[in-house]
C-alpha cells in the first residue's frame, strides 16, 4: 500500500503548498482521493500515470477539495482516453462538472460515470475482487464523506517445496490456493495447511477529510492500518475548529487512539502556523505513531 500526498494544506493554494489531493496505490488499483487545484501538475511531478486512474473519490464540494477535477477530466479527453472514468462524490458534483463541459462545448470522448452520494450512514460504493470502498460519514459545514478502503483477503500462497514433494499436478494449484485439501492417488488426504502459507493480512486505509471532532468517526475506522485525519488547527485554536467544523491535531489523535489504528497521518494544516512539526508534537501527547503529510511525501505501508 503506497500513499502519495499531492496536497495537504487548507484553503487556498500557495507557491509552495497545495490543497487536498492524494493518490492511494493498493492491490493493483490507483485511486485519487480529492482533487484540489494543481492536482494535474502534482500528478505529473510525481510521475503518476493519468491513464491508470479509473476511480476518483471526492469528499465534499468545497473548492480546495475538487476545483482541480474539471481540468483533470478535460486533460483526459485531450490525451485520448477511451476507458471509463468513475467519479464518486456528493450529489451536485455531476451538475457542477457537466455545466462547465456544456458551456465550453468540451464533452468527453470517453465514458464519464458519476456516482452521486446522499447517504448519511456508511455505504459500500465500490467493490471488486481486490478492494472495497465504503463511505465514512463526517460532520462539516456541508455534506461530507471520508472513505474507507480495504484490501480483500488474497489467495493462500503455495508452498512449492511441499507441493512438489507430494508430486501434485499443476492442474490442482488453483484449488490449493483457494484453500482446498488434496487427496493423493493412494487415498492419502493432505491438509491445505501443509501445502500453503497464510497470505499477507489485508491492508486498510481511512481518509477522513474535513470534519469536526466526533467520537462516531472512531467507530467507522476502528482497527484500520492507516488513518489520515484532518488537523487544521492546534488545540490553542480549538474554538476556531468548532466554529469552522474542523479538527485539531489533538482531536485527530484521540480518534486514532479510540479506534486503535496502527498509524495516524495528519494533514489539512492551516497556514497560520510557522511549522507543521507543532501538529506532530501535539498529537504525540495522545497517540504514538504519528506521521505528517506534506506535499510530495510518499508513505509505503
According to the annotation, is 34 in a ligand binding site?
no
**d(C-alpha 10, C-alpha 264), whole Å:** 18
β strands within the chain, DSSP E: 2-7, 21-26, 29-35, 53-57, 85-90, 112-117, 124-127, 131-138, 144-151, 157-158, 182-183, 189-190, 196-197, 204-208, 226-230, 263-267, 290-292, 298-300
Return the ∠ at Cα 31 (arms to 78 and 232), rounded to 5°. Answer: 110
**d(C-alpha 30, C-alpha 23), whole Å:** 7
Residue 134, C-alpha cell as written in the block: 465504503
DSSP 8-state assignment for residue 202: P
According to the annotation, is 294 in a ligand binding site?
no
According to the annotation, is 268 in a ligand binding site?
yes
Calculate the CA 189 to chain-centre distance. Answer: 43
**d(C-alpha 154, C-alpha 142), whole Å:** 38
According to the annotation, is 64 in a ligand binding site?
yes
**φ, ψ (nearest 5 deg) of residue 204:** -145, 150
What are the residue numbers of the active site?
64
According to the annotation, is 128 in a ligand binding site?
no
Q: Which residues are annotated as a binding site?
A: 60, 62, 64-65, 140, 210, 268
Q: Which residues are annotated as a binding site for Zn(2+)?
A: 60, 62, 64-65, 140, 210, 268
Amino acid at each position: 500500500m503506497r500513499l502519495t500526498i499531492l496536497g495537504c494544506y487548507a484553503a487556498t493554494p500557495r507557491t509552495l503548498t497545495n490543497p487536498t489531493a492524494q493518490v492511494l496505490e493498493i492491490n493493483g488499483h490507483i485511486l485519487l482521493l480529492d482533487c484540489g487545484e494543481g492536482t494535474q501538475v502534482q500528478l505529473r511531478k510525481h510521475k503518476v500515470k493519468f491513464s491508470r486512474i479509473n476511480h476518483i473519490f471526492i469528499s465534499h464540494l468545497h473548492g480546495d477539495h475538487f476545483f482541480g477535477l474539471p481540468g483533470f477530466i478535460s486533460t483526459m479527453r485531450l490525451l485520448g482516453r477511451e476507458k471509463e472514468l468513475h467519479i464518486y462524490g456528493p450529489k451536485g458534483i455531476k451538475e457542477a462538472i457537466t455545466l462547465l463541459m456544456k458551456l465550453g462545448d468540451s464533452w468527453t470522448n470517453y465514458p464519464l460515470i458519476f456516482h452521486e452520494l446522499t447517504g448519511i450512514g456508511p455505504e459500500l460504493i465500490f467493490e471488486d475482487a481486490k478492494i472495497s470502498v465504503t463511505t465514512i460519514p463526517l460532520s462539516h459545514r456541508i455534506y461530507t464523506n471520508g472513505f474507507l478502503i480495504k484490501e480483500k483477503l488474497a489467495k493462500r500462497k503455495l508452498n512449492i517445496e511441499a507441493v512438489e514433494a507430494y508430486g501434485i499436478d499443476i492442474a490442482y494449484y488453483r484449488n490449493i490456493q483457494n484453500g482446498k485439501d488434496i487427496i493423493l492417488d493412494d487415498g492419502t488426504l493432505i491438509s491445505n495447511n501443509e501445502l500453503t502459507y497464510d497470505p499477507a493480512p489485508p491492508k486498510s486505509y481511512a481518509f477522513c477529510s474535513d470534519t469536526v471532532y466526533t467520537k462516531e468517526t472512531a467507530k467507522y475506522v476502528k482497527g484500520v492500518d492507516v488513518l489520515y485525519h484532518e488537523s487544521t488547527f492546534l488545540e490553542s485554536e480549538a474554538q476556531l475548529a468548532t466554529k469552522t467544523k474542523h479538527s485539531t491535531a489533538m482531536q485527530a489523535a484521540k480518534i486514532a487512539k479510540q479506534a486503535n489504528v496502527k498509524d495516524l497521518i495528519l494533514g489539512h494544516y492551516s497556514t497560520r502556523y510557522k511549522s507543521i512539526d507543532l501538529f506532530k508534537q501535539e498529537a504525540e501527547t495522545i497517540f504514538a505513531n504519528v506521521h505528517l503529510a506534506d506535499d510530495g511525501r510518499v508513505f509505503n505501508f
